[in-house]
Amino acid sequence: MDGCGCDGYASPIDTRSAQDDRARYRAAGPDRTTRMLLDMIEAHTESGVSVLDIGGGIGVIDLELLKAGAGRAVLVEASPEYLDAARDEARQAGLADRIEIVAGDFVHHAADIDAADVVTLDRVVCCYPDAAALVSASAAKARRLYGLVLPRDRWYVRWAIWLDNLRYRLRRRAYRAHAHANARIDALTLASGLRPCAEAFTLVWRVVLYARDDIASLRA
């Protein structure tokens, strides 16, 4: 999750990043891995579901799932620049009355956030230093489905993250990316009663959808 000063967590996001994300979304729709996750979710849900999108940036997942028939969405985002962009995108899409936007670090505010049918973290786990806290708290909020996009366990991915962190260090920025082991993430979700029901990969990213153990119909 991208953080902000009030939550004591360093963020790589600035106004230009938020503007670039908006321009890319308006021109071409969701990014490839986001589209992959959305397709998995849409194949395993019906209309009216509730969505909790953690670290969701400008709110692409929320907007797309609401357009596809979801009932309501909650976007939790700690970057002020993304918060402003998300509110504007929701207004322009005519969906502001169906999206609740919560400012702050989800882990710090989890106790005050309701559970949802679908919980998503799209390229968020790699931005948070304490994977156990983030995954455990967010998985506990998923009544049915839990979707993640996270870096693959590959040497070249770890190397790329190391180079990114070196760049941040040289620029004297506090933010660091993290290559959390996929097996560790799977173990944390399993401990919360969730198992993979759909999965796909790109060269860099793993896209995985987990389902509650007692939802046999969602098994792939």
Q: What pLDDT shows up at residue 9?
A: 43
Q: Give the domain extent around 165.
A: 5-218
- CATH number, domain at 200? 3.40.50.150
Our count of domains for the chain comes to 1
Q: How far apart are CA 13 and CA 11, in angstroms?
A: 5
Q: Coil, helix or strand for 102? A: strand
pLDDT at 72: 98
Per-residue confidence (pLDDT) for residue 101, from 0 to 100: 96
Profile the chain (220 residues) by mean pLDDT over runs of 10 residues: 35 75 95 98 95 97 98 95 94 97 96 97 96 98 98 97 95 92 97 96 98 62
**pLDDT value, residue 11:** 57
CA separation for the pair 104, 212 (Å, rounded): 27
Contacts for 20-27: CB closer than 8 Å, 24+ residues apart: 21/57, 21/58, 21/82, 21/85, 22/58, 22/85, 22/89, 25/58, 25/60, 25/89
Residue 16 confidence (pLDDT): 80
State pTM to two decimals. 0.91
For residue 5, the model assigns a pLDDT of: 30
**What integer pLDDT is reported at residue 209 of this predicted model?**
98
To the nearest 10°, report the CA torsion of 10, 16, 18, 20: -140
214, exposed or middle or buried, with CB in 10 Å at 0-12, 13-18, 19+? exposed
Residue 53's DSSP bridge partners are 75, 120
